[in-house]
Amino acid sequence: MSMKPRLIVPDPDTAATYYQKTMGAEEVFRAQDDNGRVMVVVLQVDGSPFSLSPAVPEWGWLSPDDIGGSPVLLEAEFADQDAVAERMVAGGGTVIVPVENRPYGKREGRLRDPFGHLWIVTGELR
């Protein structure tokens, strides 16, 4: 099985730029509808893909802001969790739990990106 999260965002182009700048994501695919509206952008971070699509309420595609917050935590492992968290905040994200060494052997924190998605930024102790 392969699983690839698709994040629903107000503007896939803005979100793609944010993830490229903050997480080092690379765009690997993009599709538009007949009107030129971006319907999916596939990004990849260190071999792990995820997609972005716009909110389309008639299809049930709702962003976190549309439903009052995200019910999902996305856990992403990075070599330098502090740098990623700093870039996320500089780009408009919010720290929910600071990045710190945890007693269970990980260095991690929790952040909300500017689109309402919740992230656990994790990795090895430093």
* 42 part of a folded domain: yes
Same domain, yes or no, for 45 and 72? Answer: no
- What is the tens place of the pLDDT at every residue in 58-102? 999 999 999 999 999 999 999 999 999 999 999 999 999 999 999
Q: pLDDT exceeding 70 applies to what percent of the chain?
A: 100
Query: What are the phi and psi torsion angles at 66 (to 5°)?
Result: -70, -25
For the whole model, what pTM was predicted? 0.94
Question: Looking at 11, 35, 56, which one is the last position of a domain?
Answer: 56
Structural domain for 101, as ranges: 68-126
> Which segments within 62-124 are labelled E, that is strand?
73-77, 94-101, 106-112, 118-124
- Residue 126 pLDDT greater than 90, yes or no: no
* 62 part of a folded domain: no
CA distances (Å), origin 122, targets 12, 40, 83: 25, 26, 11
Same domain, yes or no, for 7 and 41? Answer: yes
Same domain, yes or no, for 87 and 46? Answer: no
- What is the tens place of the pLDDT at every residue in 4-35? 999 999 999 999 999 999 999 999 999 999 99
Same domain, yes or no, for 102 and 51? Answer: no
